[in-house]
Structure 1
Amino acid sequence: MDLDFIYLLCLGLCLCYGDEEDGEELPRPSISAWPSPVVKRKSNVTLRCWTHFQNVTVTLGKLHSSEYQQERRSVGKEAEFCLTNLQPEDAGRYFCAYRPAASLKWSGQSQHLQLVVTG
């Protein structure tokens, strides 16, 4: 193997590794609800998280509910979380964050989406 190629490969790997530690923040994702963030009891809603990168790990969380967490691999720049048979206790503020495959760093949280369950 060519020593120049190996040198450049190692340099590139070192530079990429250094990016993990440089304190740069990943852009925050966005979150939306379909068909609406206001839904009736026993209905379904899809929460969509939009990221700035393709094929990332996306996590969905609920504010003040540390035990609630779902993870999905995005399809392109989007991940969908289907919440079914909603009950009043499912109401609350949801958010998402993402992590690129080659990174250990998570993005900041999206803005919070208020899900309201009526009836």
Structure 2
Amino acid sequence: MGDSFTGLCLSQRDKPENGTLPKPSLSAWPSSVVPPKSRVTLRCWSPTKNVKFAFKKGGTYEGNPAPLQHQNPAESTAEFSLLMVTVNDTGIYTCVYHQHEAPFWASTLSNTLEILVTAPQFRGIDSSRILPVY
């Protein structure tokens, strides 16, 4: 009987205080500043395994469209790749994760990560000789 109470106490102690799980971390590889037509991989890491991740463009939930992608990896890291990026991929990204089963606690949003797709470079053009058009 004492063992069952010990297990109950441990699970109660490990429970998130306000129904949220620890914040995940978000990183970009190879960099958060990339040229057009390259690939960027966003990695979201949580201290918890077997959770569902969501990647979002934008820094908050309010007014944002649905997540860009959901993933259910067995480990504690999920990856989302932006292929052949364009300047339209420039923006603020974030991730979140939640439990698969009740009570379905979710983490707070990760810190935001800005992806910057640089403007294309034109070779062989002397930009100092380009005059504005009025």
TM-score w.r.t. the length of structure 1 is 0.77
**Which residue number in structure 2 is paired with residue 74 of structure 1?**
73
Amino acid at match of 2:68: Q
**Which residue number in structure 1 is paired with residue 110 of structure 2?**
110
1:53–1:100 CA contact under 8 A, matched in 2: no
Within-5 A mapping of 1:47-66? 47-63=42-58, 65-66=64-65
Identity of aligned residues (%): 35
Structure 1, unmatched stretches of 5+, are none
Distance 1:26 1:34, change over 3 A: same
**Which residue number in structure 2 is paired with residue 95 of structure 1?**
94
More helix by share: 1
The CA distance in 2 between the partners of 1:51 and 1:23, in whole Å, is 18
The CA distance in 1 between the partners of 2:32 and 2:92, in whole Å, is 10
Please point out which of 13, 33, 36 is paired with 1:41.
36
Report the CA distance between 1:24 and its aligned residue: 3.5
**Which residue number in structure 2 is paired with residue 83 of structure 1?**
82
The CA distance in 2 between the partners of 1:84 and 1:60, in whole Å, is 15
Task: Give the SS at the match of 1:54.
Answer: coil
- Structure ID, larger Rg: 2
The CA distance in 2 between the partners of 1:105 and 1:55, in whole Å, is 13
Report the CA distance between 1:69 and its aligned residue: 2.2
Amino acid at match of 2:80: F
2:56–2:93 CA contact under 8 A, matched in 1: yes
Kindly report the root-mean-square deviation, in angstroms, between the aligned alpha carbons of the 2 structures: 2.2
The CA distance in 2 between the partners of 1:23 and 1:89, in whole Å, is 37
Structure 2, unmatched stretches of 5+, are 121-134
The CA distance in 2 between the partners of 1:89 and 1:81, in whole Å, is 16
Matched residue count? 105
TM-score w.r.t. the length of structure 2 is 0.69
More strand by share: 1
